[in-house]
A = this chain, B = another copy of it.
Amino acid sequence: MRDQIRIFTGTGNPALAKAICDHLKIPVSKADISRFSNENIFVQVRENVRERDVFVVQPLSSPVSENLLELLIMLDALRSASARRITAVIPYYSYARSDKKDMPRISIAGRLIADLLVTAGANRILTMTLHSEQVQGFFRCQADHLAATPILCDYFGSLDLKNCVALAGDAGSARRAGPYATRLNIPLAFVDKRRVSDEKVEIRAIVGEVEGKTILYFDDEIARATSLLKTVELLRDFGVGDIYVGVTHGIFTGDAIERIEDSPIRQVVVTDTVPMPPRKRCDKVVQLSVAPLFAEAIRRIHTGESVSEIFE
């Protein structure tokens, strides 16, 4: 395997790429990435990749547009360097959130970005916890979709919490919280929100039993945490127990970390699909690594073993 596999990283999450390579016991392959004075991105692959099985690790994390363009140009450079197969490893596919046309004359950008990746040279996609499962259908190339559910559930299982309920932030995300509830064998509840105008969303009720329960709030990502914190505020009136939050992608923009620290939330559990800079680290946030999972998936893609069996 060492002879044929090559793993590159963009500047999006080099630590994760390094961790994946460490698990596979291979070095991260070399590529120069820089900007010309007119801001054009320049990529030069520094190793021969002819006939090699190549992977590029790059989440669509901040700065998203830069990271996406960088990925597209890396894919093209690798293709022109005659790589045999190129897999874009995108641990966080931010545009999965733009997955439907719920307003007139908008772009289903999750689909557009998927098409751009193929145009740029991606032969396969390897990603994790898409905002909705349907997004996998947006990829015109072969795609593998990993779930962080086992990692997060194992962690919560290890906490030995009692009397829990899985809470979803709205009706739409109830289906996302479902697999967690099933795996942890706990009941499900959700917040009934209504959009009352273009700007305003009203929380109408919490549907399901939460009183006196330990709340496990599940979602795919936390960015500004506005919606999460509104829900937490609401929960105060319901006499709930401890509040835990489990999400795959911990984006934490603006003052999200500060507001979480100031909130009654006990703990927020995220993974390292996006990098967490030191200034964002805090006692309430636990980061679990997805590197072993990605390493195993890459190994199986390369050797032709089943990827779905990882989750059996």
Tell me, yes or no, whether A205 is within 8 Å of chain B by CB.
yes
Chain B residues in 8 Å Cβ range of A94: 38-40
How many chain copies does the complex carry? 6
CA distance A238 to B129 in the complex (A): 36
A48 close to B306 (CB less than 8 A): yes
A177 close to B187 (CB less than 8 A): no
Chain B residues in 8 Å Cβ range of A41: 65, 109
B105 close to A81 (CB less than 8 A): yes
Tell me, yes or no, whether A213 is within 8 Å of chain B by CB.
no
Tell me, yes or no, whether A203 is within 8 Å of chain B by CB.
no
B171 close to A190 (CB less than 8 A): yes
Is chain A's binding surface mostly helix, strand, loop or mixed? mixed
Q: Considering the complex, give the chain B residue whose CB is closest to the CB of A227.
A: B37
Tell me, yes or no, whether A120 is within 8 Å of chain B by CB.
yes
Of B175, B178, B300, the contact of A175 (CB 8 Å cutoff): B175
Tell me, yes or no, whether A43 is within 8 Å of chain B by CB.
yes
Tell me, yes or no, whether A163 is within 8 Å of chain B by CB.
no
CB contact under 8 A between A65 and B39, given known A134-B135, A174-B172: yes
Tell me, yes or no, whether A282 is within 8 Å of chain B by CB.
no
B76 close to A65 (CB less than 8 A): no
Of B103, B133, B142, B187, the contact of A100 (CB 8 Å cutoff): B133
A147 to chain B minimum Cβ distance, whole angstroms, is 11
